Structure 1
Amino acid sequence: MVSSQFPIFNDTNVININRAPRALSLLSPHFQFIHPWRTYQQRFLTEFNTHLEDNHLHVVAPPGSGKTVLGLEMVQRLNKKTLILSPTLTIRNQWRERMSDFSVAGSEVSISFNIKQPATLTFSTYQSLHSYYKNDLEFSSEKLVAYFKQEGIGTLVLDEAHHLKNEWWKPLFALKQLPNCTLIALTATPPYDSEQNEIRKYFDLCGPVDMEIGVPELVREGNLCPHQDYIYFSEPEAAQIQFILTYREKLMTFVTNLKSNEAFINFVKRHPFYAETEKNLEAIYHEPERFSALLIYLNAAGVEIDKTKTEFLGIDSKKVRFPSLSYEWVTILLNYFLIENRDLYIEEEELLQPIEKDLRKIGAFEQKKINLVGERSLYRKLAQSPSKLKSIVEIVKVESSQLSENLRMVVLTDFIRKEFLDVKFGESITEINKIGVVPIFQYVRNAIKKEAGFPLKIEKLAVLTGSLVIVHNTIVKDLSKVLSAENFRQEILWETEYVLIKPNVAGSKDIVNAMTQLFEAGTIEVLIGTKALLGEGWDAPALNTLILASFVGSFVMSNQMRGRAIRVNRLKPNKVANIWHIACVDPTSEMGGADVALLLRRFDAFCGISLEDKPYVENGADRLNVLQDIKNVKALNSKMARLSAERTKIAQRWHEAIDGGQVLVRELKLSYKEQISYPVLKKLYFKDALTYVLVELSVLFSITLPELLLKNLTTLLSKGALYFMYALLLGFAMVLLPKTVKAVILYVKYGRRDKELRKIAMALKETMAEKGILTNHNVSLVVDQFKDGSLSCYLVGAKAKTEVQFVPYLQEIIDPVTNPRYLIVQSNWLRRKLGFSNYYSIPKIFGEHKNEARIFFKNWKRFNGNAKLVFTRNVDGRRLLLKARFHSYQDEHQIASKQSLIWK
């Protein structure tokens, strides 16, 4: 709804406000924000000129953080004609409304909602821009740029930039070519979960993030309420477990058969990469994964790999260890033959067709994609598991018992599933086999009717979607008070106490508002709806419990849906929100399976408070610590239910965590991929060889030696002390020597990982300072170690923009080598003799030009010692690049890196 201070405008209006002699397109000292800036807003504005250096202003902030007024302030400071684009008309109009927070007295501001009649401020939508680009300009980027250049547009604002669709990219990139154009991008969640090329396009358009406004700051300032995420786990039913077991058995059988398929083995051996390796080195260097997949498959099939195949890479054939033939390698191998280059192997159809047919039978070949890694068939089964419906019922029961009439719960899901509307009470509930609005409604309704003492009253349950509204028959009179009875009719839902509400055209405009009022007042306590209607933009401050029953969508949508629950309620200042996520555990997987994995990845999109122990605020699912007990579903759910009742304690934990920090820090977190206990990790990585040997000796002489003396006292007395001492020393040598050698080798190869990380990060920090990227003089580098053996690295005292750049640059260096332009080989005489070298990529930003790569390498040697800089775009460099990549495949002690946000 547009503020009453201003009239409502259509797309053809060009208007003036408070007619006065000066316009915003000149200088506008009177167009000023009339309220105090929040702390984080002021921090951004203080560094405004620094953020503006690359002509991009990119702000990430959750709903309710004041992005729009901050955007208007940026526009005012830039003082140029501006085009502001939004994804919907509602959001477009909100920009106009927010102008009421600015003083325009004594200033004339011309405004337009029509992209064909630009004014000082033009509010429009991405759809309108694309329509104009398509229909009026016939997809001509040159005409588009010429038009807006003629109109004098100098600032482009992209609101809710995470909404950008494929067809919108081209005109937006074209508009960046406007002379001296400044681009402002505002978003709640960058599309981090999109394909890599989509992520790259997003940041190429919007520029690097200048500031990320964190949830902790908003909670501290009272703009968001304290809240906690919980996961309620379920287990698949017997039929689903059998499906999973059968699926895995079929996959194993397929790979086993592939390894014994003599015809396919001979076919692979005839591939030029293997048959004529030396002649095809250049092609191999361009497709290193392909060559690796060929070798790994043949090795797994029992083929003795000719030593020249690896020696061409500079790898000693005696020391090479081929990785196991994982599903990842099978996928790379078969993608090449069955999809990417199928037309080259027409004569081999008799061989390839049966392999494709077997994959299709399993469900691993769909839409011209081979998918063994993602287990899409398994995910669909788990994501749609009816056991999740039972989980929702249990959550409703838990929360209703805790909050009683104060409960304001919303359940959001993807589909309506109207086909289940006529499910009868009782046994027929088992016919429901999909998640959706109606299935959830039927399950909860059935539980209320069936279970004596169910805490939620039946009349407190309702449904609200764009095409389906259901309320209890006793609620109709309350609905009539907020929505005229003339604007809707009712229809009895067969064999129930509920009615379907059928609004007319006039009623359709107000039905959401009317149902929201009933929900806010407590007439309805549990509202089931779709994320499309209620997931973004819907505002109900009373909402204190949210169940996310959505399995379709992205990080962006997950974050937007959570945003509905964590808004403050001015009528209840002590509001604490619970957000429930549901997942079905695959009992055949050590890590919980595909459904759990997808849910945990989505946690990367938002920050929250840790569940237990010392409170801290961090993004990701580590703060819930569920993977250790993932097989014990009953115990996990019991813990979640118990902790969800402690809402007062949640608020206290937020305040304690917030008081313990000052700012949301972006850090690089390193953890170990292999499941090794922390004591072993500590021996391998955090203790040097000398310390390790001393510890072993102290244990031997303080515990083992006295024990041996007591047990062998008879032998000592009969054969003499000298004989016994020789035997004892020989035994100690046999025990100590292998462990000592292993410790020394590991230390020579890896060093102490915490010290190595610090030296690498220092080289990066100094290079960024030398190149003028890092401008603060009082920036310090911190490396933290944790009990589980993981590490984190971050900057303290850096500007937000620098901090956001530092972490991905460091990750680029640490991660396994892919295809950098320049490569660093870290070795020394002893490492070379033992056959060890470590390989690191020079970040792309420093690797585009030789001089900049040399600056980075100079700083690298300063902190890391002697090394070699290699240009990888010639034959020798490609060869070394392939060796580096193969080296990473063989490393059994790999680390996984992850960008994290944590309040410190």
Structure 2
Amino acid sequence: MPFKNLEFIFPWRSYQEKFINNISRHIVDNHLHVVAPPGSGKTILGIEIVRRIGKKTLVLAPTLTVRNQWENRLQTFFVGNELFNDFSFDINNPKAITFSTYQSLHSFYKKFEQKAEYHAFFENEKIEAIVLDEAHHLKNEWWKCLFELKRDNNLTIVALTATPPYDSDALEVSKYFRLCGDIDEEITVPDLVKEGDLCPHQDYIYFSKPEEKEIHFIFEYRMRISNFIDELKLNTEFIAFINNHRFLKSTQKYLNEIYGNPEYFSAILIFLNSINQEIPEEKLYILGFEKNEKVEFPAFTNNWAEVLFQNLIVLDRLNLIEKESFLNELETKLRRLNIFENKKVDLIGDNQLYRSLSNSPSKLLSIVDIISNEYLNLKADLRAVVLTDYIKKEFKITEDKEVHSIDRLGVIPIFQHLRISSVSKVEIAVLTGTLVIIHKNNITAFGSIESLDNYNFIPFETDIEYVEIVPKAGANHLVNTITKLFEIGNIKVLIGTKSLLGEGWDAPSINTLVLASFVGSFVSSNQMRGRAIRTQKGNLNKTGNIWHLVCLDPTDINGGKDIETLKRRFDAFVGISNSEKNYIESGIDRLSIPDSFNDIDIQSLNDYTLNESKKRGVLKERWNNAISYGTGISREIKKYYTGDEAYETEKSQSFNDVVRYSFLELSVALSFFLPQFLIKNLNILITKGAMAFMYSLLTALGLSFGLKTYKSIKNYIQFGLLHKDLKRIADALLNSMYDLNMITTKRENIVLTTDILPKGEVVCAIKGATEIESALFINSLQEIIEPIKNPRYLIVKKNWFRKNFEIQNYYSVPELFGDKKQRCELFLKYWKIHVGASEVFYTRHLEGRKILLKARMFHLSNSFKETTKKAVIWN
């Protein structure tokens, strides 16, 4: 045992002890993947994992600073009187535990001309385990040398991260999990708040509207695209080009291609339908529709235009080589509209509009409002940090009267706005890697920490009350000195870049954080947020307010790309609700922001948020209440309501209409309609008899009231059965997983709950299972209920009533069971028991492909919407 002399010399926290007790169970498959937020002691837990595995280990970190922390934590927390010497910082000369960086390993890998020598080195040195610290930092080139090691040397892989890179592209996420394995254990924020390792905190969203020129830009952008698509619908050359596409001219010949890319074929048909061109029935047969079956085509939206153009201009270009000159012209038009860049067609405005909104100068005024409000509330206790992406030094020379004309977000623009605000000028400072500014009154305090002789103090160009600090040769403590001034309160508002202060920088006194960053990801957002939620020694009442800035798109009822991006990033944050009922959950729903932003009074919304942010004492109570209600995390999935009107309205109307059109209107018909009908059709009764008269009467009633009755019953069934369906599906899934030993927790310890929330979301939660079991269950349930993608097996409900009312009958068999026919049949067995009569189809054969395409057509209206969301809840 290389680590027999190492032992943790302090008491473990309860959440740490719980994790440690599960290490041996998780490591049996040679993987241990741990997610834990900043402040949870990942490094210390990592050393304990290494100690318990007992194998010669290579620890990889993203930076030298983090690498050195590993050795420091080992000597500080695991060693008694004598230092542990069986360690190395040199990958060329490994010892029992070697601390290195990803960059160093990659350089080491490149030294070997023959990769077999690289693998042989690890085998000869008997290195049997690798720890990947801050595993979210893994890059493409680093991944390759690590995955080769894992594959060829059969190593034990331990991955530690605060945030898995969920918002990277699908390929990157796939690589990440192939290397690190599924998540085995997650240490949660509530555990850390409960133990006092993190402080109570809340996220707040502050909204702004674009300035007039930005609004004009957005409207112009949308109008140009709309006009272009309208023109295309009248363009005879383009229409002829589409009609001559091989998918239409020789459909049978290219069935495999069509089945491999059904969205492309669908986009072609949807375009032709939008110009009122009749779609031949045989083309609809390809999509699985039967003769005379009603097909409701969706509108040719920007989303569908994007699918069509992406295939024509990029993905299918080589197959259309005879039309290259025409496609060149089309590509040129798209480029001129700024909707084609880097081989990506973007008609939604993901790049153009997001850049405009996320970098909107309206956010500068938002920051002033937030900091002024926090300053009034906290006064001398304020410790605020504003993090952004760029410095924007070009705005240094800006006179006071010109400050409000600054049209870019950045460190200097924020500084310029704050220095002319109501916030005390003395207490504002700038800290970046290349620019540091403090008030001249703080020079003396600076000198009490570090010699003034090491720096030059140059008056700031447009405000001589401030000085820019320029280090002389050899001075390298500037960040530490400014941080100390911030900690003791000489500086109360610090503006900096996320690259310097976003990860690794530690200032426990921070109680207000404004995230003015628009370049980033789940990972960087969570790391930045971690700066404000750490506890501060001696300050038991510390709470943290984290502010997020959103500029709304006035042309989008849902608020636009800025709020959409923020919603996605909130999936990585676990926090407290702001509702009367206190609960802890991941995602943005806990903040109860509006569903749509049509006619929203933004000022009232912001005023309410500012007022809520002052209630820091209440915030602490909310956390205590919510934590006391639960003992650990469980997972849930939400299926969002996707109707055109508000759920409450639809549901009420659906129920009332069934009653109304089934009973009330029939009474009305008998009272008013029947006498009139009798008078007008008396001749039929006399000449053709009672049967002919009754036939005419029923026909008239059907035409007058039948459609309304049909729609009402359909809606009522849809809303009335939604949550019951989900419960039955969840039961079928759970029993299938038990039969295959995918879940081993005792059945009586697991509870499935299904509820309908006020806005129509149907929520299914699993409680009592292990972390990996619950994650596996929720992931599989999401595969079943989300819009159909490309499953190997598809379940089709055989229900006359549902079929005739056109209610969803298609569900994906999750990948968990779809890899083997026997597993799929087992799942179908439980599906029939709990859900009802159904049939399963293999979608890689012709018949199954047709049914798959039809199922996807059924889901077309939801193809571009978020219909489901996974969440972590504390209960």
Indicate whether the TM-score tops 0.5: yes
Q: Which amino acid aligns with 2:796?
A: V
Deviation at 1:57, TM superposition (A): 0.7
* Matching residue of 2:2: 23
Listed as ranges, the gaps of 5+ residues in structure 1 are 1-21, 448-453, 716-725
Q: CA RMSD in A?
A: 2.8
* Matching residue of 1:17: none
Q: In structure 2, the residue corresponding to 1:467 is in which secondary structure?
A: coil
Quote the Cα distance in structure 2 between the aligned partners of 1:391 and 1:862.
56
Deviates more, 1:893-902 or 1:581-590: 893-902
Q: Which amino acid aligns with 2:88?
A: S
Q: In structure 2, the residue corresponding to 1:529 is in which secondary structure?
A: strand
* Matching residue of 1:131: 107
Provide the identity percentage.
45
* Matching residue of 2:252: 278
Deviations 1:797-828 (CA, angstroms, capped at 9, x unpaired): 10111111111111111112211112212223
Q: In structure 2, the residue corresponding to 1:672 is in which secondary structure?
A: coil
Deviations 1:654-703 (CA, angstroms, capped at 9, x unpaired): 11111122212221111123342223453699x7xxx98458779889xx
* Matching residue of 1:15: none
* Matching residue of 2:771: 800
* Matching residue of 2:61: 86
* Matching residue of 2:643: 674
Contact 1:263–1:351 at 8 Å: present in 2 too?
A: no
* Matching residue of 2:471: 503
Residue 194 of structure 1: which of 162, 168, 175 is its match? 168
Quote the Cα distance in structure 1 between the aligned partners of 2:564 and 2:792.
33
Residue 446 of structure 2: which of 466, 469, 479 is its match? 479
Deviates more, 1:888-897 or 1:787-796: 888-897
Contact 1:674–1:893 at 8 Å: present in 2 too?
A: no
Cα pair distance change 1:248/1:835, threshold 3 Å: closer
Deviations 1:161-214 (CA, angstroms, capped at 9, x unpaired): 011111111111112125552211110000111111111111111111111211
Q: Which amino acid aligns with 1:354?
A: E
1:534-573 to 2 correspondences below 5 Å? 534-573=501-540
Deviation at 1:632, TM superposition (A): 1.7
| 2:570 is equivalent to residue 610 of structure 1 | no
Q: In structure 1, the residue corresponding to 2:203 is in which secondary structure?
A: strand
Deviation at 1:376, TM superposition (A): 1.8
* Matching residue of 1:902: 873
Contact 2:384–2:492 at 8 Å: present in 1 too?
A: yes
Quote the Cα distance in structure 2 between the aligned partners of 1:697 and 1:870.
37
Q: Which amino acid aligns with 2:91?
A: I
| 2:377 is equivalent to residue 402 of structure 1 | yes
Deviations 1:292-329 (CA, angstroms, capped at 9, x unpaired): 11111111122110111102333035411111111111
Deviates more, 1:739-748 or 1:640-649: 739-748
* Matching residue of 1:16: none
| 2:370 is equivalent to residue 391 of structure 1 | no
Cα pair distance change 1:674/1:141, threshold 3 Å: farther
Contact 1:822–1:847 at 8 Å: present in 2 too?
A: yes
Q: In structure 2, the residue corresponding to 1:784 is in which secondary structure?
A: strand
Deviations 1:76-106 (CA, angstroms, capped at 9, x unpaired): 1111111111001111111111112124669
Deviation at 1:771, TM superposition (A): 1.6
* Matching residue of 1:101: 77
Quote the Cα distance in structure 1 between the aligned partners of 2:481 and 2:863.
60
Q: Which amino acid aligns with 2:342?
A: Q
Contact 1:827–1:837 at 8 Å: present in 2 too?
A: no
* Matching residue of 2:548: 581
| 2:116 is equivalent to residue 147 of structure 1 | no
Quote the Cα distance in structure 1 between the aligned partners of 2:413 and 2:588.
28
Quote the Cα distance in structure 2 between the aligned partners of 1:880 and 1:737.
30
Deviation at 1:865, TM superposition (A): 2.3
Residue 310 of structure 2: which of 335, 350, 361 is its match? 335
Quote the Cα distance in structure 1 between the aligned partners of 2:606 and 2:203.
13
Quote the Cα distance in structure 2 between the aligned partners of 1:105 and 1:55.
33
Residue 370 of structure 1: which of 345, 357, 377 is its match? 345
Deviation at 1:876, TM superposition (A): 2.1
Deviation at 1:431, TM superposition (A): 4.1
Contact 1:83–1:122 at 8 Å: present in 2 too?
A: yes
Deviation at 1:374, TM superposition (A): 3.9
Deviation at 1:420, TM superposition (A): 1.0
Q: In structure 1, the residue corresponding to 2:86 is in which secondary structure?
A: strand
* Matching residue of 1:173: 147
| 2:329 is equivalent to residue 354 of structure 1 | yes
Q: Which amino acid aligns with 1:781?
A: L
Q: In structure 2, the residue corresponding to 1:564 is in which secondary structure?
A: coil
Cα pair distance change 1:363/1:824, threshold 3 Å: same
* Matching residue of 2:95: 119
Quote the Cα distance in structure 2 between the aligned partners of 1:385 and 1:372.
21
Cα pair distance change 1:64/1:730, threshold 3 Å: same
* Matching residue of 2:403: 429
Deviations 1:368-426 (CA, angstroms, capped at 9, x unpaired): 21101244211111122111111111111111111111111111000011111111221
Deviation at 1:861, TM superposition (A): 2.0
Q: Which amino acid aligns with 1:293?
A: A
Deviation at 1:154, TM superposition (A): 1.4
Cα pair distance change 1:890/1:249, threshold 3 Å: closer
Contact 2:39–2:197 at 8 Å: present in 1 too?
A: yes
Contact 2:559–2:596 at 8 Å: present in 1 too?
A: no
Q: In structure 2, the residue corresponding to 1:77 is in which secondary structure?
A: helix
Residue 860 of structure 1: which of 831, 834, 840 is its match? 831
Contact 1:437–1:528 at 8 Å: present in 2 too?
A: yes
| 2:278 is equivalent to residue 304 of structure 1 | yes
Q: In structure 2, the residue corresponding to 1:859 is in which secondary structure?
A: helix
Deviations 1:226-275 (CA, angstroms, capped at 9, x unpaired): 11111111111111111111111111111111111111111111111111
Deviation at 1:533, TM superposition (A): 0.6
Cα pair distance change 1:893/1:752, threshold 3 Å: farther
Deviation at 1:346, TM superposition (A): 4.2
Contact 1:144–1:174 at 8 Å: present in 2 too?
A: no
Cα pair distance change 1:750/1:282, threshold 3 Å: farther
Cα pair distance change 1:601/1:120, threshold 3 Å: same
Contact 2:841–2:848 at 8 Å: present in 1 too?
A: yes
Q: In structure 2, the residue corresponding to 1:763 is in which secondary structure?
A: helix
Quote the Cα distance in structure 2 between the aligned partners of 1:746 and 1:592.
28
Deviation at 1:127, TM superposition (A): 0.5
TM-score by length of structure 1 reads 0.89
Deviation at 1:460, TM superposition (A): 0.7
Deviations 1:774-816 (CA, angstroms, capped at 9, x unpaired): 0011222111221111111121110111111111111111112
Q: Which amino acid aligns with 1:23?
A: P
Cα pair distance change 1:397/1:898, threshold 3 Å: same
Quote the Cα distance in structure 1 between the aligned partners of 2:581 and 2:63.
42
Residue 13 of structure 2: which of 38, 45, 48 is its match? 38
Contact 1:57–1:183 at 8 Å: present in 2 too?
A: yes
Q: Which amino acid aligns with 1:859?
A: Y
Cα pair distance change 1:261/1:446, threshold 3 Å: same
Cα pair distance change 1:263/1:336, threshold 3 Å: same
Deviation at 1:544, TM superposition (A): 0.7
* Matching residue of 1:719: none
Contact 1:600–1:621 at 8 Å: present in 2 too?
A: yes
Deviations 1:509-552 (CA, angstroms, capped at 9, x unpaired): 21111001100111011110000111011111111111110000
* Matching residue of 1:313: 287
Contact 2:558–2:596 at 8 Å: present in 1 too?
A: no
Contact 1:23–1:107 at 8 Å: present in 2 too?
A: no
Q: Which amino acid aligns with 1:267?
A: F
Contact 2:2–2:56 at 8 Å: present in 1 too?
A: no
Contact 1:296–1:322 at 8 Å: present in 2 too?
A: yes
Deviation at 1:281, TM superposition (A): 1.7
Quote the Cα distance in structure 1 between the aligned partners of 2:467 and 2:440.
6
Quote the Cα distance in structure 2 between the aligned partners of 1:667 and 1:376.
32
Deviations 1:306-364 (CA, angstroms, capped at 9, x unpaired): 11110233303541111111111111111111122334434424433333233222211
